[in-house]
Structure 1
Amino acid sequence: MKNLPKWVDLALIPLINLFLAFMISGLVVVYIGENPFRAMQIIINGSLGSAYGLGYTLYYATNFIFTGLAVAVAFHARMFNIGGEGQAMVGGLGTALVCLFIDWPHWTIAFPVAIMSAALFGAAWSAIPAYLQAKRGSHIVITTIMFNFIAYSMMVYLLVHVLKPKGQMAPESAKFVAGSNLPSAHDIFGWFGMAFPKSPPLNITFLLAVLACFLIWLFIWRTRMGYAIRAFGWSETAAVYAGISPFKIIMVSMLVSGGLAGMMSINSVMGEAERLLIDSVQGAGFVGIAAALMGRSHPLGVFLAAVLFGVLYQGGAELEFEMPAVSREMIVVIQALVILFTGALENLVRVPIGKIFMKLNTKQN
């Protein structure tokens, strides 16, 4: 089924999978005695129907864009980087160290330094699993999962015993210096004389995420290294025969992947909380896997999938409030169904559609 038209592979199949996921979700809503069409209306209105909802939707989407791109880059090298959670946590540590111990005069100076620090820490955390994969053959899935737990334990220790201010009960760092506070969407719109609610945590990091999509597209499809990564992902044997070093490809792709995951912390740690928290990632690393799968590892697809999951997150919160019968667990079920149909059950749609196109091509010939 590899000869499907691109519009079928990149658009039609994901849309059908999405439709099936929402259809099954609707049946679940019917089962608990609620109207699925009203539930869908609440989700859409709550996430996209107001500036308030849109702000939260794009805030969540920003996290998922970074982690989705991180997974996508590794996918192109035929590796499954499931360690985005840990890499984002450690990236948050890099962000916090820059923002806590340097008295920045203005955010425009702190922002690029924090980006580099977050990316460096995230890349460093992914470097060890990458080296073990490249040199020792240790499976990247196993090592990155293990490093998620190590990262969480390390963050707990640092926040409880090292970074927590004296006399404070909550396991979190001190508030960052004022000069490192990023402008929110409210501030940015205010520069142009437009109004935007203050409460949504959407900030300038969203623009960084959009830029990251473009740069990753350039890297993967317009550079020699990107070509080598894709060639290695398609066939390691052929890539080696062509003179491509597996060690180099594994290390570069995982370092880029870890750096992207680490940059997610700019949004949640520096942009929203303005302090380092234990749960600053909030599962975004795992949602990024779904975004990469649904987006076919293409930056544009990852962006659209991330926005979709942002809609589900924000709209799900509104749905839980408007429909008390729909619990938080039910919202997770809906999100899980989207992941299930767009990821694990993709061939449920791909195979029959592939057969249809094969028959059509046979008739035309």
Structure 2
Amino acid sequence: MKKILFTLLVVLMSLNVQARKDVEITVLQWNIWQEGTVVPGGYDAIVNELCRLKPDFVTLSEVRNYHNVNFTRRLVNDLKAKGLTYYSFRTDDSGLLSRYPILDSVYVSTLNKDHGSIYKLTAEVQGRKVSVYTGHLDYLDCAYYNVYGYDGCTWKECERPQSVAELLKLNDLSWRDNEVQTFINEARHDIKAGHCVVFGGDFNEPSHLDWTTQTKDLYDHHGMIVPWTVSTMLYKNGFRDAYREVYPSAITHPGFTYPSYNPAVKMEQLTWAPKADERERIDFIYYKGKGVTPISAQIFGPDMSAYRSTALKEDTKDSFVLPTGLWPTDHKGVLVKFKIR
């Protein structure tokens, strides 16, 4: 009997230790539309929302260093003035914030004109190394616009491609595949070292999980089922889309992040193609690593989209974190909570 009780006690103690080792982190991907400067008061809104949400890591897109001022450093200083400590790395097209001290940082794919960027930081969270990547991928040659009848580079009306092969040929003009391959090459070292890897960014390309048989006649897809290459590459290399892992259905939970309706600016500033239904999910958080699981995922921003130059209330089951005041951008963010064993 004593032996049984002792064994039971050991098991309970082991379970308790395991529970203490579990780590939870929150990651926010947010395209801030060049520091929110397009929207009067947008920068202050960014600061206020970060103070409210307090994500552990923030991956920022459309970052600029206006007037020779380092944006993420400025943001860290203004957050600190409000009692919230962050550490930052890089600020040019993409940016990174961490509530944990940065152990290492790397330029993975540096900015080349309009062809995007990828940066990385590594931090330690309760004994577990976490490598967080931010990316704002090539935003020229966005081939999904061609399906809408707009040129993906100049945003002028064009003839729609008649086949998926033709569409992918247009998509291949971008640098996004090359950038993601560079990320995969870098991240394999993190995975080998036992790190949790998170990659957040505005990828400027939809997901193959969203252009499927079920959605081919929705959202101006014009019957196309498209194996978009960035998401396909990531999946083939074991990276998973956190939002789609929590919400597998692109019908009930489309998770559109662009273009966001924004009452603070004129509608023509929110959409490049006013005749098209542009609604897409182009802001993502991917992850890979031993014992890493997304336990919640939400869209951060207004629950309305810019649809053919009108404001459309989304009739979906997506969960939203609504802004408390002014919305500073034309994108919605993605907020994911992970559990790490």
Q: Same fold (TM over 0.5)?
A: no
Which structure dedicates a bigger proportion of its chain to strand? 2
Larger relative contact order (Cα-Cα within 8 Å, sequence gap ≥ 6)? 1
Give the TM-score taking structure 2 as reference length: 0.24
